[in-house]
Homo-oligomer: A and B are copies of this chain.
Amino acid sequence: MSYDVIDLNTTDDAMEHVFAHTALLHWAESLLLKVGVPEQRARVIADSLVVAELKGIGSHGLSRLGIYVERLKCGLVDANAELTTIYETASTLVLDAQNGFGHPAASEAVEMAIAKARLSGACAAAIRNSTHFGRAGYFAEAAARQGFIAIVTTNSAARMAPWGGKEAAFGTNPLAVGVPGELEPIVLDMSTSAAALGKIVLAEKAGTSIPENWAQDREGRPTTDPKLALEGSLTPIAGPKGSGLALVLDILSGLLSGAKFGRDVGSLYRDFTQPEGCGHFLIVLDVRAFMPIDLFTQSITAYARQIKAITPVANERPVLLPGELEQQCEARSRKVGIRLQHAIYQELIELSEAHGIDFPAPLTKAQPSAIV
C-alpha cells in the first residue's frame, strides 16, 4: 500500500494520538490473546474494532475493548465457547453462540450461511446466546465482498421506548444491508434510534443540551437535558416507523433465534449479574441465483452512476452511496493513521498497562515505514 505523509497541518506534538491501524490491530489482538481469547477469534474481534476506527465509527471501535475484557474476566463471556448448530435445513441455520464473543460467532455464521446460499440461493441464520457483536455492517460487508447480498441485524438491551410508551422495550437494534458494488460494496448500517446513546453520554459529560428529538424523560416527554434523557429512553427514528422496525428486528434476532428478547436482554454495560444473551439474525442471498454476476456488476455500476449524477444540494458535497463516507474515511486512515480521542487513548493505555502489553508508539510525520 502506498504511504502519504500525514497531512494534518500539525507538529509532531499533535500526532501523539495518531497510530498506524496495523499497529493497533496487532496490539488489540495481543491483548485479547493475553486474556485467553483463542487466536482466530482475537483476530476477528480486533479487526472489527479497528475497521470501525478506520471508518470513523469510534462508537463501535477500540473503546469497546475494555468492557469485553471486563465481562470476560467476570466469567460473563466464554472465550472458548464453540458455535454449535441447533437445527438446520437447506436454507436456514439456528446457531447457539453458547455465550461466546458475538464478533467471531456472527463472522462464522456469515460463512456458514454463504456456504448454504451457494447451494440453495439463499440462507437465513439466527444466532442465540450471543454477546455484543460490534458493527452489523462489518458482517454485511464481509458477505458483499464475496459476491453475496446480506441483511444483518441484532438485538440489544432495552434502551428505546416503543412509540407512545414511557419505558424502554427494545434496543437501538441496527439494520445493515451489504450489496456487492463495482469496486467497493454498498453498505447501509443504521440504528433504529434517532441518536446513539454515546452521544447523549458525551453531552452529559460536556454539560451541553441535546436536540429535542433524541430522547424522552421517564414520563415520556421529549427532553433536551441529557441527564433526564439517560434516566429515560431513546427515541426511535421516524416515530412509529422506527419503533416498529426495531420491534420486528428484535423478533428476528431475539425471538426467532431462541435468544432473549425485549426487556430481558442483558445490558453490556449495566448488568453484571447475567450474560447478555442477545441474538443476531442474517439473510444471505447469492447474486448468481438472480442474474449472471457480470450483469449484476453492470447494473450496480449503472445504479451508482445514476445516484452520483444527482445534483448535490451543497456543491462541495456530492451525493454519496450508503457506506461511501465511511469508505473514504477508511481509505484515508489506512494511509495516514487513526487518530484516537484523548479519553479513548487514556483508556487503552490503562488497559495495556494492566495487562503488561506495550502500547504502540504514535506515528510521526517522518515515519513513512509505519504503515505498509
Q: How far is the CA of A320 from the CA of B169 in the complex (A)?
A: 12
A332 at interface by CB-CB < 8 Å? no
Known: A91-B91, A91-B122, A255-B299. A307 touches B244 (CB 8 A): no
Q: Which of B120, B190, B221, B287 contacts A91 (CB 8 A)?
A: B120
Contact partners of A258 in chain B: CB under 8 A: 290-291
Give Cα A94 to B295, complex, Å: 15
Residue A163 CB within 8 A of the other chain: yes
The yes or no answer to A179 lying at the interface (CB within 8 A) is yes
If the complex has contacts A238-B238, A307-B162, are A94 and B290 also in contact, measured as CB distance less than 8 A? yes
Say yes or no: A164 contacts B120, CB within 8 Å: no
Distance of A163 from chain B, by nearest CB (Å): 7
Residues 157-176 of chain A, each 1 if its beta carbon lies under 8 Å from chain B, else 0? 00001111111010000010
Q: Do B256 and A290 touch (CB < 8 A)?
A: yes
Instruction: Enumerate A168-214 residues with CB–CB distance to B below 8 Å.
Output: 169, 175, 177, 179, 186, 188, 190, 194
Which among A44-52, A311-319, A352-360, A362-370 touches the partner chain? Answer: A311-319
**Residue of chain B at shortest CB distance from A179:** B251
Q: How many copies does the complex hold?
A: 2
- Whether the pair B241, A190 counts as a contact (CB closer than 8 A) is yes
What chain B residues lie within 8 Å of A91 (beta carbons)? 90-91, 117, 120-123, 289
Q: In the complex the two chains form, is A311's CB within 8 Å of B165's CB? A: yes
Contact of A283 among B219, B240, B283 (CB under 8 A): B283
Write the A230-241 contact mask toward B (1 if CB under 8 angstroms, else 0).
000000011011
17 inter-chain pairs at a CB distance below 8 angstroms, sorted by A residue, are A90-B119, A91-B121, A92-B290, A121-B124, A122-B124, A126-B290, A149-B251, A161-B310, A164-B313, A165-B310, A190-B238, A237-B238, A238-B242, A244-B322, A247-B307, A247-B321, A258-B291
Kindly list the 10 A-B residue pairs having the minimum CB-CB distance in the complex, ordered from nearest: A92-B121, A89-B121, A220-B313, A165-B310, A244-B322, A237-B238, A90-B120, A91-B91, A92-B289, A188-B244
**Which A positions have Cβ atoms within 8 angstroms of B?**
87, 89-92, 94, 117, 119-124, 126, 149, 161-167, 169, 175, 177, 179, 186, 188, 190, 194, 219-221, 237-238, 240-242, 244-245, 247-248, 250-252, 255-258, 261-263, 283, 285-287, 289-291, 296, 299-300, 303, 306-307, 310-314, 317-322
